[in-house]
A and B are shown apart, each in its own frame.
Chain A
Amino acid sequence: DTAVSQTPKYLVTQMGNDKSIKCEQNLGHDTMYWYKQDSKKFLKIMFSYNNKELIINETVPNRFSPKSPDKAHLNLHINSLELGDSAVYFCASSPGTRKRETQYFGPGTRLLVL
């Protein structure tokens, strides 16, 4: 069983479209994250939810909207896609919000905006 799964794995779409990426974790964790890995390979935090509540919201365009229907799922919706949104998006989870918890990452979603 995959601990943190993401769908789709690959997403190719046109500029201006709206798309969603789904993330699910079966680890029983309370906290989930979205990261963006840009063309320079740096992983940067975008959002974090704890028990369905937003706890981290970095400087991200408001075209990006996370949604957490329950603590096992954290989906990422992107409106009006732009070329610069092309990246690999990783979902992750951790047990809670205590210090030094280990994060578990999903396999990533490779988004290409044409």
Chain B
Amino acid sequence: DQQVKQNSPSLSVQEGRISILNCDYTNSMFDYFLWYKKYPAEGPTFLISISSIKDKNEDGRFTVFLNKSAKHLSLHIVPSQPGDSAVYFCAASVGGNAGKSTFGDGTTLTVKP
């Protein structure tokens, strides 16, 4: 039973447009959420996080939105760049314990020039 799901295996976007990656979770105890970015043959790298006390967190071109009632979070990338092409993982945890994060299965983003 996967508690964190990314229902879109892939997403293709034109350079300069907005990329929206989605993530759903089932465990209402999750209170800390993260997005990681992964290039081929590399490990995931931390991108942005959000605590359940917020509904939005912004860092440059990246914004994460959290809808607790819907148990849904999304990552917005504006404007998208070809270098953003990667696999994006969302992760969730209770209390922000890094070793207890539950990961989604990733969405492959392709940004076309």
Contacts and interface: CB of A to CB of B under 8 A. Distances in A.
Interface of A: 4, 9, 31, 33, 40-45, 48, 55-56, 90, 92, 94, 97, 99-108
Contacts of A33: 98-99
A105 B104 contact: no
Contacts of B91: 43
B99 A42 contact: no
A101 B100 CA distance: 12
B44 A99 contact: no
B103 A48 contact: no
Nearest to B32: A100
B53 interface: no
Nearest to A93: B98
Contacts of B49: 100
A107 B43 contact: yes
Given A101-B98, A102-B98, A104-B45, 4 more contacts: A41-B106, A42-B2, A97-B99, A103-B46
B42 interface: yes
Contacts of A42: 2, 103-105
B97 interface: yes
A105 B97 contact: no
10 contacts: A33-B99, A42-B104, A45-B100, A48-B99, A56-B100, A99-B32, A100-B96, A102-B98, A103-B101, A104-B43
A44 B98 contact: no
A40 B41 CA distance: 17
A100 B33 CA distance: 9
B95 interface: yes
Interface in B15-47: 32, 36, 41-46
Contacts of A48: 99
Contacts of A41: 105-106
- Sorted nearest first, the 7 A-B pairs with minimum C-beta distance are A105-B43, A100-B96, A99-B96, A43-B103, A41-B105, A48-B99, A102-B46
Interface string B75-102: 0000000000000010100011111110
B89 A43 contact: yes
A90 B96 CA distance: 20
